[in-house]
Amino acid sequence: MTPNAIVSRAEWITARKAHLENERALTHQRDALYAERRALPWVKVDQDYVFASTTGPKRLADLFAGRSQLFVYNFMLTPGSDHICPGCSYLSDHVDAARQHFEHADLSFAAISRVPLARIEQVRERMGWRFEWVSSEGTSFNFDYGASFTPEQIAADEPLYNYGTTSGLAPDIHGTSVFAKGDDGQVYHTYSAYARGNEVLAGAFAFLDMVPKGRNEGGQTMNWVRLHDEYEDAPDAEPCCASAA
């Protein structure tokens, strides 16, 4: 690694203090943004979505698991494909560690994919995840919440993803949606995010962003990311991308 400019400790402290002022300003801006997000209006969810789970059919309200808030992650698994999205897997590796804490702050989590439940369970077993993961097969949920697109939409090549800011659609793309439940049991949609709006969920990025090489992507976003059992030092590692169809 080629060093940056080499300076005295005193010069370094001066530069670090100047950078700290920028960091503090960003922190305050982020706090204001998050407050604005929490103040967004809500939308009633009138559609009766029923998902397949390992314990039987579950409605959206059931996924709250007794809490008043629900975080949903649309995991990219496409019907008829053997591909497991490395990016979705990378993010999902963070969930079980985080949810042992946020479940005590009145938040439940569920991943949702539109493939059959048997395929979900196959991936879950391979990856070792324990979070709730249900199938939306036969429902419009993924389409309604901007994470799946029809062949006609893809052929039209219109920028529909991420509120019309991103073109190049695929049958399934990652997304997150947040729901709240009122005291009367009514479910509301409060927030959704896509594309880089979800990267804050991947805590490994926070570590990398503090070091000299940053995310070390070599010109292509997340080019080093693999399923966690495909890294060279993983036990019984498979060749990179062997799961791709």
* Per-residue pLDDT reduced to its tens digit, 186-244: 999 999 999 999 999 999 999 999 999 999 988 788 889 999 999 988 655 443 333 32
120-140: per-residue pLDDT in tens? 999 999 999 999 999 999 999
Q: What is the phi/psi pair of residue 200, to 5°?
A: -65, -20
Residue 241: what pLDDT? 33
pLDDT in tens, 215-229: 998 878 888 999 999
CA-CA-CA-CA torsion for 70, 139, 52, 145, nearest 10 degrees? -20
Q: Give me the pLDDT at residue 237, please.
A: 43
CA distance 187 to 32: 26
Q: Which residue blocks in the chain are alpha helix, DSSP H?
A: 9-38, 86-92, 95-102, 117-127, 141-144, 151-156, 161-164, 203-208
Eight-class DSSP state of 149: -
Cα–Cα distance between 230 and 243 in angstroms, integer?
A: 10
pTM of the model: 0.90
